[in-house]
Amino acid sequence: MCVRSFFTTHPNPVVLLHGLGANQNEDLNYLEAYLQSQSYCTFSLTYGAFPQYPEVGGLRFINESAPQVASFIQEVHTNTGATKIDIVGHSEGAFHSLYVPKFNGISGIVDKIVAIAPPTHGTTFGGIYAPFYLLGNLTIGLADEILNTVGCPACGDLVTGGAAVQRLNDGTPIVQSGNTLTVIASKDDELVTPTTTAFVNEAGVSNMYVQETCPLDPVGHIGEAYDANVWNLVVNALNTTPKRAFACSFGSPGKL
């Protein structure tokens, strides 16, 4: 949603990128509504879906989804007339928030990036190789059908040593000039494992665990998209107010 008056308070539109197996109406939908309530202009899309399963996003190879994400961000930039765009992603969407500015020619229009639980350096998926349906509202039967029909190319891209992970970590900086990155992770994440794989160890990057601010928060990987403490940390990053205090909540762990 984009209300023109929002630009007075927050001049950068925010593009939200869902996790693997989810879509624009599921995963970051509650965070998007929260940002809208805080007068942010937000946009989202379902990326990386196969034609047979249009509501199940993020399945395609990363290098197939990335141009779609980049095109959408460019479209938001053009249609809103904003100077810069901010990106907030969760899980695979967080990986795209790092990958797309680096490789798809949009870094010049990006300002702040907030990556929630990205498998930056690859993940063991907590020992589960086909977890994509866990981020969506899919039945096991549908997940099996999708696996048997189109597979999950993105799963192989994001495991430790996966092709997209290797490309992102090619020895050149992940964060591009003019972009500011905040990585938010949970010590109790059970899918992006080990949890330190999320962090980007480059100058100027803010890497944080939710529990450093809210020690009693038991949030897991899926729950990070729905956790009010995470939402507040996202707002702090978007507002460039990292020390802003807020009352911590104790929500659902959001674990498998």
Within a 10 A sphere around the Cβ of 226, how many other Cβ atoms? 18
pLDDT band of residue 8 (cuts 50, 70, 90) is confident
Coil, helix or strand for 66?
Answer: helix
d(CA 48, CA 178): 27
Residue 133, pLDDT above cutoff 60? no
pLDDT band, residue 256 (cuts 50/70/90): low
Distance CA 107, CA 84 (A): 10
Confidence (pLDDT) at 250:
82
Q: What is the pLDDT of residue 147?
A: 77
Give the phi and the psi of residue 181 in degrees, each rounded to 5.
-115, 135
For residue 80, give every residue at least 6 positions away whose Cβ sits within 8 Å of its Cβ, in sequence order, or none.
Answer: 2, 7, 13, 41
Region of residue 21 (left: phi > 0; alpha: psi -120 to 50; beta: else): left
Q: Which two tokens stand for residue 50?
A: 């196969």
- Cis before residue 13, ω within 30 degrees of 0? no
% of the chain exceeding 70 in pLDDT: 90
Structure tokens at 216: 């009693």
User: Can you say whether residue 171 is alpha, beta or left, with left for phi > 0 and alpha for psi between -120 and 50 degrees?
Assistant: left
Per-residue model confidence (pLDDT) at position 141: 73
CB-based contact 248:213 (threshold 8 Å): yes
User: In which band, very low, low, confident or very high, does the pLDDT at 3 lie, cut at 50, 70 and 90?
Assistant: low
Q: Hey, how many other C-beta atoms are within 10 angstroms of the C-beta on 1?
A: 12
Taking only the tens place, the pLDDT of each residue in 93-122 is 999 999 999 999 999 999 999 999 999 999
Considering the chain, what percentage of its residues have pLDDT values greater than 90? 79
Identify the structural domains of the chain with CATH numbers, from first to last: 6-239 (3.40.50.1820)
State how far the Cα of 225 lies from the Cα of 215, in Å rounded to an integer: 18
Q: What is the mean pLDDT of residues 145-174?
A: 92
Whether the pLDDT of residue 130 is over 70: the answer is: no
pLDDT tens digits, one per residue of 200-249: 999 999 999 999 999 999 999 999 999 999 999 999 999 999 999 999 99
Specify the DSSP element, H or E, that contains 116.
Answer: strand 110-116
Average pLDDT, the chain: 91
Q: Which residues of 199-212 are buried (b: 16+ CB within 10 A; e: fewer)?
A: bbeeeebbbbbbbe
Is 132's pLDDT higher than 90?
A: no
Q: What mean pLDDT do residues 192-197 have?
A: 94
Backbone region of residue 220 per phi and psi (left: phi > 0; alpha: psi in -120 to 50; beta: other values): beta
Residue 125: predicted pLDDT? 77
pLDDT of residue 138: 66
Residue 25's CB is within 10 A of a number of other CB atoms, namely 13
Task: Please name every residue paired with 89 in a beta bridge, in sequence order, or none if there are none.
Answer: 17, 115
Whether residue 116 contacts residue 142, with contact meaning beta carbons closer than 8 Å, is answered with: no
Is the Cβ–Cβ distance between 27 and 135 less than 8 Å?
A: yes
